Structure 1
């Protein structure tokens, strides 16, 4: 009887200490995801600030035209870029508040794609050929900003995948489910060069 009780308590203690270790590992992995996003966030903020700085002076403070007012092609291209940059700023703020949130990361990726599309449209439709700086120089700087974020995006995605694998593996999945660890989103297409 004494032997069974000793084995029971030893097994219970082993299980308890294993659960504490598994929990601490999941917390470390989640923290690594948050830290990796903080570094990526800095680079994305640089992209956003740079794009907003390229907007015409009149657009930097807010809306350029009243609703329903006709716009020429150039103003419309800048207005699309302004709207896309505002949308990206909102998505970035949401992702910053919850860097583990899957829908938040998906929203960030979609907003970045909209910003890239609006940027290409603004360069094509609104920057005259004799502009200083030229469209090629603006595009070159934009591509440099995108490429600078590639290793940061990879580091974030790697951290998120390691965390997601850890919360999915049995028996750590039991601890993850018990303490509410949710899968992290990734930024798969964000900042790929085009």
Structure 2
């Protein structure tokens, strides 16, 4: 009887270690996916900042749209820093999702405004920035998809019944997708 108890205890201990290692591997996968997403978001923010800086010279009457883009870029940068500190934090990912949506909307507004003004002396600069913006979007989309897949895999592992019992003891919580 005593041997059976020790065997059961050893099995439970090994299972707990295995569950912990699996959750750590999946959480580290989120951090690795973030390492691909962060530069893509930083590039989009940089292009947006250049558009916000140069735009008022191209379209002086649309200053508020460029100010909005500048402000959205600053909020996006702050959200990116928050996620960089803890890529698996649901709160930071939610903040990033909101900041990214605001930045994307501001970029779309500015992109539409700049597409209307063609044929002036600033056309080459404007087209170069718009092309750079277009090139920056596919890497962001790919990295975002990868990040969300890793988050989903982690959250699914947390929801499995035996692991769910130990997740709280190990300090694991649902991660947030972007």
CA RMSD of aligned residues (A): 2.1
Q: CA deviation at 1:96?
A: 1.2
Could you say which residue in structure 1 is the equivalent of 2:98?
A: 110
Alignment of 1:87-98 (within 5 A): 87-98=75-86
- The alignment status of 1:99 with 2:96, answered yes or no, reads no
Kindly state the Cα deviation for residue 73 of structure 1 after the two structures are TM-superposed. 3.3
What TM-score, normalized to structure 2? 0.86
Distance in 2, Cα, partners of 1:92 & 1:38: 11
Deviations 1:114-148 (A, max 9, x none): 11211222233467322323656544432321112
User: In the aligned structure 1, how far is the partner of 2:23 from the partner of 2:111?
Assistant: 45
Instruction: Name 1:50's counterpart in structure 2.
Output: 47
TM-score by length of 1: 0.80
Alpha-carbon distance change, 164 to 122 in structure 1, aligned in 2, over 3 angstroms: same
Residue 148 of structure 2 is aligned to residue 161 of structure 1: no
Between 1:82-91 and 1:128-137, the stretch displaced more is 128-137
Aligned to 2:34: 37
- Which residue number in structure 2 is paired with residue 15 of structure 1? 12
* Count of equivalent residues: 172
Q: Which residue of 2 aligns with 1:182?
A: 173
SS where residue 177 of structure 2 aligns? coil
Runs of 4 or more off by more than 6 Å in structure 1? none
Q: Take 2:66 and 2:55, find their aligned partners in 1: how far apart are those partners? A: 10
